Amino acid sequence: MKRPRKFADICAHLGDDYDFFRGAVVPPIYQNTTFTRKNSDHGYSYTRVKNPTTEVLEKKLAALECAEAARAYSSGMAAITSLLFSILKKGDHVVTLGSVYQPVVHFLQNEMPKFGVETDFINDGTPEEFEAAARPETRLFYLESPSSNVFKIQDLKKIAEIASRRGILTAIDNTWATPYFQNPLKLGIDYVIHSATKYLGGHSDICAGAVAGSAEKINALFESGMYSAVPDPFASWLLIRSLRTLELRMIRHGENARRVAEFLSGHGRVKKVLWPGLKTHEGHETAVSQMSGFSGLMGLVLDTDYRNTSKFIKNLDIFEEGPSWGGFESLINSPGVTDNEEYLNFTTIPQGLLRISVGLEDVDSILEDLDQSLKKL
């Protein structure tokens, strides 16, 4: 079995076992639910518990996140909810940002109270805010750095130190940065979560999620989550395939995004650009201290009204309007185009905010598309 250690080598080869897989360069898809064991004690019984294809995926994900172990799920939300149900109990308290992924906010606000779990939502995510919001019964600091839509950066090392001192667990959604640009476990975070639907999958054809951490924590997560939604073996195989190009894709996403962010920040019809890679971003210095690069998702606010904002979206050619992000294609969404001030205040989303996912197209084509649409405002 190959034992790769470098990032690109892990993406390409970790988990490859040519002897076990009869010399196959690509691990096969074990597209079955049941494993018989009359004549062989191979360790497999039921795909919901353990599957050889998914096992290769989990080994890759753990190594990429510098973790001892990882557990794969059928979606990012399946990973998040499984983790929350695993570590939280009646009487526990959670601290997180109002700007984290909104389905997570909804789950913490509306579902976890049914089980006696309370959550406080803070605005900026500074270490001081997290510490001030903590109570004796606080069990978890839930992080997302950069956070959804507004891209707020949290100082992971300082927050982890506060949490450790107070006996609080930490978990972070690392989907935006990917393990290529950020390794939170090295900074003291306990659990790293991914919506593998985004950059890890990268081709807009997989729905999957993952949690990585110490072997002890992931084993406990496995024991309490044996009823959770695990990925189909074919989805695991597709994700293994996608990981082989993760480094190459993230380099291209980052390069394209920098060109786009610099272009937009200097354009007269753009009021604000939210991308941590820009020196003007309020969290840039912290981001640089804990990240090695920046991915392709950013926010912008146009210097115009609602009608022209909608016109800008419709006039784009390369950018399609739609949810999700992190795929090969460039997408645009409009989380801030609303009159719901309560929602905007809670999430700290600026009114009129557009979110764009910069894809893998030629960057000059992307810039030309944005420019032609901005000129029509």
**pLDDT tens per residue, range 170-213:** 999 999 999 999 999 999 999 999 999 999 999 999 999 999 99
Whose tokens are 């022209």? That residue is: 308
- What pLDDT score does 19 carry? 80
Q: Which residues have a Cβ under 8 Å from the Cβ of 326 and sit 6 or more positions away?
A: 175, 197, 198, 199, 200, 201, 202, 295, 296, 297, 357
pLDDT value of residue 23: 84
Region 248-266: mean pLDDT is 98
CATH architecture, domain defined by 7-243: 3-Layer(aba) Sandwich (3.40)
pLDDT at 15: 84
pLDDT over 80 at 14, yes or no: yes
In tens, the pLDDT along 63-86 reads 999 999 999 999 999 999 999 999
- Residue 228 clears pLDDT 90, i.e. is over it: no
Q: Identify the weakest region by mean pLDDT among 13-22, 44-53, 240-249.
A: 13-22
The alpha helices in 122-274, defined as continuous H runs, are 127-133, 156-166, 178-181, 215-224, 233-243, 246-265
pLDDT at 280 over 70: yes
Tell me what percent of the residues of the chain surpass a pLDDT of 70: 98
12-21, 162-171, 193-202, 207-216: which has the minimum mean pLDDT?
Answer: 12-21
Boundaries of every domain in the chain: 7-243, 246-374
Q: What is the CATH number of domain 246-374?
A: 3.90.1150.10
Confidence of residue 225 (pLDDT cuts 50, 70, 90): low
Stated as kind and residue range, the H or E segment containing 346 is helix 341-347
Please choose, from the candidates 87, 286, 71, 108, the residue with its C-alpha nearest in 3D space to the C-alpha of residue 168: 87
Give the per-residue pLDDT at 1. Answer: 59
What is the rounded average pLDDT of the residues 278-295?
A: 98
The answer to whether the 7-243 and 246-374 domains have the same CATH topology is no
